[in-house]
Amino acid sequence: MGVTEEIAAFVVNTKFENLTERAVKEAKVCLLDWLGVCLAGSREPLAEILTRMFRTMPCEPQATVIGKGIKTSPLNAALANGAMSHALDFDDYLVYGLLHPSAPVWAAILPLAEWKGVSGRELIAAFVLGFEVESRISRILGKPLIDACFHPTGTIGTFAAAAGAGKALGLTRQQLIHAFGMAGTQAAGLIESFGSMSKPFHAGKAAMNGLLAAILAGEGFTGSEQMLDSERGFAQVLVKQDLRGITGGLGREYEIINNSYKPYPSCGATHAAIDAMLEIRRKYALQASQVREVSCKVCPVTIHVAGKSQPKTGLEGKFSLKFCLAAALTYGELSIDKFTEREVQRPEITGLMEKIQLIPKESYNSVSEAEVTAVTAAGDKYTHAVSWAKGTPQNPMTEEDMEKKFISLAELAVPRDKAGRVIELINRLDQLNEREVADLIGLCS
């Protein structure tokens, strides 16, 4: 079998019972984190624009737009929820894959849970398998896509959404192969969009396009049967890569255990340096006014994706490592309210940014590595290096950290008692029937 067929066969044949206990547990963490960032993202301007568009083009109310109090078509809901969950750049990420795995998949499969009726076990299986497809492709294509200025979340995420939605819909192997064909021909997203609403739009479109591919495939629509194999297919055309080998060890362990979660609402590539700066500030009681210069060593990819030197908006600030470092040193934290137009243009922040030098370090293989050195006006030098950013599997956030993050974000859109009920239901997601899954989603409207 070729890669496309083998991946499709694995997704179709794998059942909830085949998943490891750790994979099931991690899927619940992913859902909690994703719902939190989506609820907070529902307060962002892009959410208002999308919701307004849906209201001007009414359709059958079949799926919830998270945090907005309305229902729309499954495709519209996938678009909105995928975009909103990525709007703050606070959603999970894969260090090696350089993408955000949860947004395209949850946004694609939750509308199906309301529209078609999906149990908690079926939902978990669909998510874990969509994640698996995404992760395996990204191991080979993530960095080459970034280097070629494509956005892996928008491109690879389309296949993940198709896989998850296809599993939830019960597609046959042949149907899922065609869904992958349609996913590949729709996959898109350019890093030129980073710092604008179009960056999270990539995640929404990946969810919407993958869901559309799965629905059409179930109705008999066809696509290429070799989208992941052909010289004219996705990997070869975009970045001249061969995906043979990504299927090795399928089903032995699941890639979801390698997921990372964010303590800061900025590009994941900025987190290691932020950790280092915060540690210097804490350990040495360093204040921004004392600093003469700062040097920050990171892998070249970090500068490529998060090297905006003069951000003008809060969204651009998320992709400006200099801004993130300046804000971290100034405030001792990095919360949602720091990423605003006012903050990125604050004179004391921009003045500090001018003192920061970003240095590419070729020996760093991961965006999760960084070394920060701060030199004071008095000549004192403080250095701290980070090998794994907070939130990565090697330096994980605790269950308490994750619940606190969820509550703080969810409360921006729903009452605290509803947020608490969401946590309870997610903790026993594998025990929920179709109606209870719909009730869980309803708590987030």
Shared domain for 76 and 138, answered yes or no, is yes
Say which residues have a Cβ less than 8 Å from residue 290's Cβ, sequence separation at least 6: 376, 377, 378
* Other Cβ atoms within 10 Å of 358 Cβ, number: 18
Provide the CATH number for the domain around residue 364: 3.30.1330.120
pLDDT above 90 covers a percentage of the chain that reads: 99
Alpha carbon distance, N-terminus to C-terminus of the chain: 43
DSSP secondary structure, 426-444, as one string: HHTGGG--HHHHHHHHHTT
List, in sequence order, every residue forming a beta bridge with 376; answer none if it has no partner.
Answer: 291
Shared domain for 88 and 102, answered yes or no, is yes
The per-residue pLDDT for range 13-50, each reduced to its tens digit, is 999 999 999 999 999 999 999 999 999 999 999 999 99
What per-residue confidence (pLDDT) applies to 1? 87
Euclidean distance between CA atoms 319 and 297, whole angstroms: 16
The per-residue pLDDT for range 154-195, each reduced to its tens digit, is 999 999 999 999 999 999 999 999 999 999 999 999 999 999
Shared domain for 353 and 413, answered yes or no, is no
Question: Domain containing 424: what range?
Answer: 3-262+395-442
Say which residues have a Cβ less than 8 Å from residue 309's Cβ, sequence separation at least 6: 320, 322, 353
Shared domain for 349 and 253, answered yes or no, is no
Number of domains in the chain: 2
Tell me which residue has tokens 């003008």.
Answer: 312
Decide: helix, strand or coil at residue 203. Answer: helix
Cα dihedral 358/364/367/372 (nearest 10): -40
Q: Which two tokens stand for residue 56?
A: 């001007």
Shared domain for 235 and 356, answered yes or no, is no
Shared domain for 417 and 350, answered yes or no, is no
Provide the CATH number for the domain around residue 115: 1.10.4100.10
Last residue of one domain, picked from the residues 366, 386, 406: 386
Shared domain for 164 and 309, answered yes or no, is no
Cβ atoms 210, 187 nearer than 8 A = no
Shared domain for 12 and 91, answered yes or no, is yes
| 170 residue type, one letter | G
Shared domain for 77 and 223, answered yes or no, is yes
Shared domain for 300 and 227, answered yes or no, is no
Q: One digit per residue, pLDDT tens: the chain, 445 residues?
A: 899 999 999 999 999 999 999 999 999 999 999 999 999 999 999 999 999 999 999 899 999 999 998 999 999 999 999 999 999 999 999 999 999 999 999 999 999 999 999 999 999 999 999 999 999 999 999 999 999 999 999 999 999 999 999 999 999 999 999 999 999 999 999 999 999 999 999 999 999 999 999 999 999 999 999 999 999 999 999 999 999 999 999 999 999 999 999 999 999 999 999 999 999 999 999 999 999 999 999 999 999 999 999 999 999 999 999 999 999 999 999 999 999 999 999 999 999 999 999 999 999 989 999 999 999 999 999 999 999 999 999 999 999 999 999 999 999 999 999 999 999 999 999 999 999 999 999 999 8
Last residue of one domain, picked from the residues 350, 368, 386: 386
Shared domain for 93 and 197, answered yes or no, is yes
Q: Which two tokens stand for residue 144?
A: 């080459």
Cβ atoms 433, 419 nearer than 8 A = no
Shared domain for 224 and 370, answered yes or no, is no
Euclidean distance between CA atoms 101 and 103, whole angstroms: 6
